[in-house]
Amino acid sequence: MSDNHLEPRDAGSPEVPGPETAPQGLTISRRRLLEGMGATAALMAAGVAPALLSALPGKASASESPSGGGDAVDAIAERNQPVNYPGRPVKYAQPAGDEKWVMVIDVKACIGCRRCVYACVKENNIGRESGFTYIQLLEMEPGSIDIEHAKLDYEEGGRPDKWYLPVQCMQCAKPTCVYGCPVKATWKEPDGIVVMDYDKCIACRNCIVTCPYGARHFNWVHPHVPEDEINPDVPLDEKAGTIEKCHFCIQRTRNGGTTACTEACPVGARVFGDLSDPDSAVSKILRTRRVWRLKEELGNEPMIWYVG
Amino acid sequence: MSTQSTQWAAPAPDTKRLIGIDWNIGGLLHAGPRFYAFISLLVTVIFLGLMAWGAFLFNGGGLMAMRDTYPWGLWFTNYMYYVGLSAGGLAVYASVHLFGAEQFRPLSRLAVLQAGVLVMMALLGIITDMERFWRAGWMLLTPNPTSPFVYTGSAANIYMIIAFVDLWILITGKGGEKLAMRMTLIALPFAVYLHTTTAFVLSLNKARELWNSAVMVPIFLTSATASGIALLMISAYIMQRFNVMRFKKSMFRSLSTLLATVIIIDLFLLGVEILSIFWPTSNHPGHSARMALFFEAPYGWVFIPVLILGVSAFALLAGRNRRHLPAVQLTAAAMYVVAIFLKRYTLMAMGFAIDPLGQFTAPYFPSLVEILIALMILAIGLLIMAVAAKILPLQVPDQEIEEHAHEHVKQRAEWAALDAEPQAAQASVTEAG
Ligand code: SF4
Ligand code: SF4
Ligand code: SF4
């Protein structure tokens, strides 16, 4: 906006008779240059204004607690609104309900066994030779939460002198991946799940670049799953040459189930549930325990919390 | 050579007139064996590239060296690079109209042609990289306003059209100087806009510390302008060497002064960025850790030459004794064109070197398929330039140059008169307002 206000003043300024230094010929060409610059500024303002507006979805721009000292957790659930939602139901799953799906992971309990990873690979038809998994386990040094010193490819099993941080798509309330996709091939559903449209993705991989959690993965090779292990409830061939990522097992959770990783965890480190329901386990944990989020300072508002 | 007279005097007998342009078909048909050898080489490279692209479409991205940790590779380096080269060359052409830099008028058609071809190459890079490129129509149907990609992609397309239309206007002389001027007023802001939005694709990313810096945009613009001027100088020398166009020595001298000026601004901005990252009171862990890789092996091998090449190119152009020599000018220009390519590559690769989960990944080096595709695009660009040099009247007619040189002299006399009578000058400026 302010760019537009500046424009006429810039373009007009050479016409103000000032201390006589500039020869007339120069004045004219400088005015033309400034017109050009003004046009650039206007073009950019025109392009950027809608971008900025749509980056502030719904009430997201409101202050921390709209109800004035009200429940901060309710405010978080409230901010978790759809983004770029095309309003049509997703394939392979029921339409979204009124829930706001979130997850809490107990890092004190997690032993780094990676059973969640394998359960997820099986459940979601992740190509066995694709070289990625939705869930990534970081082996953390005691005394630090610095992921830059963590180890991703640690040996199988997990060690008692380390601690483990499972990372997957955080279903962010302000999903930078969704903001970055040029064709709206990925969006956030009303129940908070960030989904992919495999039939629309143009394979530009900008979402990989914009996601701060390394949660998005490209099918560089055709996803291969042994015939007898294919899960018919989840797409497979459609994913070739496109992006995929954790979607909170939308095919299960919208049918009343829980996620495959939650089910597989031997120590119950994962709790999945509806944040809009005050009696759900996740709501109770968030209200009573000290929780934290990964890279919270970036403002993506991840919907996976850690406790422990 | 004999072509010299036919190129810019009376139309050659084999000229065909189409859409108002005299296409010198004869020039192409009677070209020497060396020209055809070069063309066959380019066609072979294009053929190999097409096979590589086919293999990629058939087998998937596994043939590329890119992976989730390096989601973009050579194609994106080239995209930034070509877009920059294009915008830079256009700035020279625009200065003819905006600043009355008449000495550059002989370059105008070459600059605009080159700008259009380079943007086309940049766009081909995107298309050959997307495994699902036929879905790109969604960019028009459901564009996402928060994605910088939408802006740079659409700007590149529009800019390419502007460049080719502008070339047509310049060659046919339709609309005269006035229309050429108006086209500049559209093309130059668009060049800036295109390059700014390209920088935004990297810089508007909180997920990638290295790029998330506002100085990226001016660095992109100065690198673009410097490398673009340098490439234009090289093309002009090549065109002169093959008797397609001819230029005055003073034109090259002017161009190299301009180049030296932009190079030093470019190096200055880079220095500012490096300083703000490493100064103890401003050191930002995430950012410094990534930037530090610039100076360590293996990335240092690519980045330190950027600094050496840049400083040496400037030193060559600044030295009073030798800067008028074509060999010195060409060497400096070539050094900077290479330096900017290396800079684009390190900038992209280094942003990915430490992934969002803090993991260091082995450096990216393009696979054979990626290199063949990139060479194919380069060959397409060279092919268009080579054929255009034969059949398009790229040389600006002497008559047009003299006319404007004349005007220029007149204008200068007017300015001198203004300085002589300050009162009168003030009055006339007020009148103009
Ligand atoms: S974690 Fe990444 S992929 Fe998941 S919603 Fe957030 S930005 Fe998108
Ligand atoms: S790769 Fe697909 S989902 Fe990701 S930004 Fe590009 S089009 Fe969108
Ligand atoms: S299954 Fe549970 S304990 Fe094992 S790695 Fe996953 S979250 Fe941790």
Chain A contact present for B98, CB below 8 A = yes
Q: Return the minimum-mean-pLDDT range out of A66-80, B229-243, B270-284, B313-327.
A: A66-80
Query: Average pLDDT for residues B159-171, to the nearest whole number?
Result: 89
What does the pLDDT read at residue A86?
92
Best probe residue, ligand 1, of A134, A172, A301 (max atoms within 8 Å of C-beta): A172
pLDDT digits (tens, 9 = 90+) for B187-209: 888 889 999 999 999 999 999 98
For residue B331, the SS3 value is helix
> What ipTM was predicted for this assembly?
0.83
Q: How far apart are CA A80 and CA A78, in angstroms?
A: 5
Q: Is the CB of A215 under 6 A from ligand 2?
A: no
Q: How far apart are CA A193 and CA A214, in angstroms?
A: 17
The confidence band for B17, taking pLDDT boundaries of 50, 70 and 90, is confident
Closest CA to A80 of A183, A216, A225, A191: A191
Residue B132 has pLDDT above 80, yes or no: yes
Give residue limits of the domains in chain A: 57-307
What is the chain B residue with the closest CA to A153? Answer: B359
Residue, of B266 and B298, whose pLDDT is higher: B266
Closest CA to B302 of B249, B339, B255, B261: B339
Pocket of ligand 3 (CB under 6 A): A 110-116, 137, 164, 166, 264-265, 267, 269-270
User: What CATH class has B33-417?
Assistant: mainly alpha
What does the pLDDT read at residue A293?
95
Eight-class DSSP state of A289: S
Residue B402 has pLDDT above 60, yes or no: yes
pTM: 0.83
Q: Return the minimum-mean-pLDDT range out of B41-45, B337-341, B386-390, B407-411.
A: B407-411
Exposure of A40 in the CB half-sphere (CA atoms within 13 A): 20
The pLDDT mean for chain B works out to 85
What does the pLDDT read at residue B291?
78
Contacts of A219 in chain B (CB under 8 A): 60-61
Q: How far apart are CA B224 and CA A250, in angstroms?
A: 46
Chain A contact present for B249, CB below 8 A = no
Q: How far apart are CA B148 and CA B201, in angstroms?
A: 5
Question: What is the CA(A55)–ligand 2 centre distance, in A?
Answer: 17
What does the pLDDT read at residue B430?
56
CB A260 within 8 Å of CB A123: yes
Q: What is the CA radius of gyration of chain A?
A: 24
* Distances, alpha carbon A147 to alpha carbons A207, A264, B67, B108, in Å: 21, 25, 21, 53
CATH number for the segment(s) A57-307: 3.30.70.20
Chain B contact present for A219, CB below 8 A = yes
Residues 142-181 of A with CB under 8 A from B: 146-150, 152, 167, 176, 179-181
Burial class (CB in 10 A: 0-12, 13-18, 19+), B331: middle
Give the containing element (helix H, strand E) for A86.
Answer: none
Q: Is the CB of A125 under 6 A from ligand 2?
A: no
Burial class (CB in 10 A: 0-12, 13-18, 19+), A108: exposed
Burial class (CB in 10 A: 0-12, 13-18, 19+), B2: exposed
CA distance A254 to chain B (A): 27
Residue B23 has pLDDT above 80, yes or no: no
For residue A105, the SS3 value is strand
pLDDT digits (tens, 9 = 90+) for B281-294: 877 777 777 878 87
What does the pLDDT read at residue B296?
80
Would you call the peptide bond into B298 cis, given omega within 30 degrees of 0 as the criterion?
yes
Q: Is the CB of A286 under 6 A from ligand 2?
A: no
What does the pLDDT read at residue B424?
56
Query: Average pLDDT for residues B112-135, to the nearest whole number?
Result: 90
pLDDT digits (tens, 9 = 90+) for B362-373: 888 899 999 999
Helix axes A24-54, B74-98, angle to 10 degrees: 150
CA distance A125 to chain B (A): 18
Q: How far apart are CA A188 and CA B80, in angstroms?
A: 31
Q: How far apart are CA A165 and CA A90, in angstroms?
A: 31
> Above pLDDT 70, what percent of chain B?
94
* Regions of chain A where pLDDT drops below 70: 1-70
pLDDT digits (tens, 9 = 90+) for A216-253: 999 999 999 999 999 999 999 999 999 999 999 999 99
Instruction: Say how many C-beta atoms besides its own lie within 10 A of residue B15's C-beta.
Output: 18
For residue A307, the SS3 value is strand
CB pairs under 8 A between A and B: 192
What does the pLDDT read at residue A162?
93
Query: Which residues, in sequence order, are bridge partners of residue B24?
Result: B15
Q: What is the CA radius of gyration of chain B?
A: 23
What does the pLDDT read at residue A55?
55
Q: How far apart are CA B419 and CA B415, in angstroms?
A: 6
